[in-house]
Structures are given as C-alpha cells and as structure tokens.
Structure 1
C-alpha cells in the first residue's frame, strides 16, 4: 500500500451553511488541457477515482474548462463513484475568451439558469453541491445574479452558492441576498493579495475559502525550474514564467528547496502545507494529471508547521521579490484592476 493511501484526509466544514468537504480538494481543470495536453477519458477518469479512493471528496470543475469537456469528463467519473459521498463544485459566468487573452463575464438571471441546467446535463447529476459565479459581471447588479441562484437553491438544483474573484463590497452585497458558502480565490505563497481584506471578511461572514493555484501554477513543484516549461502550456507565456522574471523567481524556488529538505518533504509539499495551515476554513484545490503528484499533494497533509515554521516559509518568498504579475493583465478578474492590491470599492 502506498503512503498516500495510509493518510487520513481530514473532513472540514466549508462555510457555516452545512457543507462538509475533504480538507484537500481536487481541481479538475488540468485534466482537459491548459497546463498540459488534455487527457483522454481512459486516462483522466482513473485519476479522479484514485483521488476519491485516497480520501479526496471535493472536486472542482467549470463550464468554461474545455469548454464543457471537463464537466463531461467529471460526470463520467462520478458515475463510477458514490454520488452521495462527493462534493461537486462547478462554475458559470465566463462566456468567452478573446485574443489577446481576455474574458467576458455574464451574470443575468436568465444566463444563470441556462448555465445551471446545461451543467447539470453535462455532469449528468440531479444537483450541484457548490455552484460558483466564476467571474462577476460588473454590468449586472450582484443582487440580480444572486436572486436567481437563490431560486436554484430553493428548487434543489444547487445546494450551496459560491463566488470567485469577487470584490469585498460585492461579497457583502451577495451575502445579504443569500449566504455565500465559499469564495474561490488565487492564494499561494507568492500570491497573497487576499490576506489583508478578503480573508478577514470571509471569516466575519462565515464564508469558506477555496484557494486555486495553491502551488503557484506548478511553480513550487519545480517544473519550470528543474525542467523546461512546456511550449503548449498556459504558463509558457505567463508573466512569472518568462525571461528575467523566471530567472529572478528561481531564487525563490531555491530557498524553498532548502527549507523543504529541513522539513523532509518536497518543495511543493511545503508550499501546499503552508496553504493548508492558513486555517480550518481553507480548502485548497490543487490539480494534477499524474498519480505521483496526487500522492505528493496528499502527503503534504503530514507536513506539520508551527508558527515559527510558517513565518520562516513566508519569509522565503518575500512578495516584493516575486517578479511578474499573478496573471495576464487582460485576464485579471473584472473587479480587480491591479495584481497586487484588492480593490477598496466595488466596481459594480
């Protein structure tokens, strides 16, 4: 039996509305491309099943992944697993991508319902456990979007409501219409802009936090450092993975590598453990296409960090030394105008 199979993945409450999930989730996006070539069903489904068999029950997808193909893949995998033991999250709201890279969001009540019905069909399920607005449509009052989501909860089509990359003011206004269960945001050692305002707000309102890209889009796994960035990967043109920025950021990885040796783990495990230690209400969703990486991610649950350890790990990644924006300027969430500072006021 491998080590990951022997690790008990804890259960935690996500938000205060009753949703309980595995402390470590699984982001399914990468199974349908973006970071690597998309996997065929016969390769992707076993990874989802393996994650479940090792204690992960919280799976995250979105209608835009593929597009649509990821939900179909996840739906096929769910047919081979006990649905009642799965917490399934998907998202709506991104209606298109542009060239140069950019996104368009839509949050009208009619579109909310259309997307939900379509996702239910692609996933081939009767309900969605956690349904996120993927990006906020700043042209539609959040109260209108939330009103329709509330109706979907009342109809039993979704159980809980989430937001992704929303501003503090929008979070408050949305939560006033119907309780928000989870907020999905980018959060890792080198992307920490939510800590000052967003995290305290979530804790004030009882909203769980779901960090995506907790390994810095694979950076802390060392792929961009000890290997070469795949030319067909999303990160091959990412601001932090190109030219002088990457050369500067390698210093960060080297420091993490040295610290990981002290903690007798891999750099990726140390980086993920740091996120896991940010609170019981924090449930990161790293994704992977390889079983060995899945096992390593689960192994991060064994890495114990005290207060001084957490300070030391944070100190190894000084934010003023991180070179490059956290994402492409035109792919920044529609409410977030700067990569380093959350907005003080809503742009709605």
Structure 2
C-alpha cells in the first residue's frame, strides 16, 4: 500500500520509521518553521494586514505562561517570502522577534529563474531584512546568514515538471549567499520529496543536475563538515497504522487546520529519530506550517495551542526528557554542538550563525 506522491522506497522507509519503538532521548529541540505568506490566495492588502496583525497581537497572549524546560516561551520562525516584500509586514514580525517570540528567515517562490537572478535577489533581500528591519545575523566574517525554505517544495529545481524554480545550482547559490541551513523537507506527499528522510545531512551540489539534496553526507559526531555542503535539517516523515483496519496515515510535521496540534502526534515525531549521527540523546523536531492562512492561524493562536504546550510538558515528564523551544537559527547551532559531541546544550553559543 502506498500514499500518492511518495515513491516506493520513501514510503517503505517512512513506514518502517512509524513501526519503531519510542526512543529515549535526554534532550528534544522543537522548532516551528512557518511558510508565512500573508499574500496567499492573492489576498488584498487589508486582508494581509489583518493576517499579520492577528499574529502580532495574539501570539504573545497565546504562549505567555507556557514554557519549556528552561523556562522559555514557544518560539516561532517566520520564513517570509522575499518576492512579496512589504516593509510594514516585516516591521511587525520584527516586533515579535525583538519581544523574544521567535525569528524571521527567508522563504522564496520563483519560477523559470537563473543563478544570477537568484543570487541578486537573495543578496539584496537579506541586506534589506538586516539593515532596514534588524533581522537575520552576521557571522564573524561579517556575512549575513539566513535559513531558507523553498516555495512549492521545489528546492534545487526538484519539481518533477521542472517548474517553480529553474536553477540546477541553487544549493551553491544559497550556500555562497549566506544560507546556513535549508529547512524545506519533508515535502511528502508532494513528488518533490527526497529519498533521504528523517535526517540532518549535507547536500553536495551538482550544478548540472536538479535535486542534488536527494541524498547527502550525514551530520556526524566528530566528522569534519564538507566545505561544499549545504546543511539540510529535515522534519519528521513517518507512516503509521494506529489500527490494523485503518488506512496508513502520513505524519510529515505539518501543523494545519486539517492536521492540528495533538498529543498523539508527539510519539510519531520522536519515532522519526531526526538526530546527528552518533548522538541519539539529542533529537531535533522540526515542524512546519502555513501560519498566515486563517484555518491554520486558529491552530496556533487559540486555546488548543495552549493545551498542546501543556500536554508536551506532561509527555516530557513521562518520558524523562528535557525539551526546548528553539528558532531555526538556534536549531542549526545546536546541530553544530551535537557534531562536537556535547552532552548538554549551550544556548549562549547560538551566535555560531
């Protein structure tokens, strides 16, 4: 049995993941990556404003009083579509960032593009986000660094129909313009899904071919990072059978009105075992959402979210792990710490990126 859009091998791997016993991590890092698109559905400017204002006004009220194992409120990483740049939207998101509720990173939808055009857009947009809005961060060399999510799942020209990208050397352009990690996957059941699932790894670009991130080099304790590799941080992808008579269900880390936050999803996220190879005590749970859409907004900005955060604390207490709400940038920095073999996370070291 298969799920439409998933290849046989990917389905089998995801199904096996869903049948695993629960792991016993000591630390779990939870990151919410939001494909935040106020303009979705060709929304008029007034509707866009309402969508952004809802987050600005209601997110603090929803999460205040909720906290992780170190007393920090839930974090939300807004991946904003740079092709739809509006200063007023970014200023409101920057307000949330400055108030300690998350961060802003880079999202992009494009089609029939080329490397030169993509490079110019990324450099111009990241400079604007940093200098005008105080977003993103510079590394020790002064380069602006950013996390990335590709629109329509078509990273590195990976859409089967060749649409929604056009740049076979996209991974190289991303790496050279300051991208510290890509957070696009999983895409399943979309056909742009990679063969590699439930992994943290480095994709090596083949500039002549699409979908170079289909496979890669696992992030591993003690191993040197490949100089030409782009870090890929995937979310969970498992196929579960909760009852023998039920159809298989895909768990892809998507949080939406049709896939709301619930306690029974936590086990599947843990079963995915997204780790740095050789360091199973730290697990990385990267979720995704399209939070500007009204049905999905209701999942995040209502009592259901507050209840979920309480259930997550209970689950952590029951299973005996500490959990931490982190931004995308912090998750990438924690991957680097895991590669160093650290037993305890050091949160003041997030300036690695």
Query: TM exceeds 0.5?
Result: no
Structure in which a larger fraction of residues adopt strand = 2
Q: What TM-score results when the alignment is normalised by the length of structure 2?
A: 0.42
Structure in which a larger fraction of residues adopt helix = 1
For CA contacts below 8 A with separation 6 or more, give which structure has more relative contact order: 2
Q: What TM-score results when the alignment is normalised by the length of structure 1?
A: 0.43
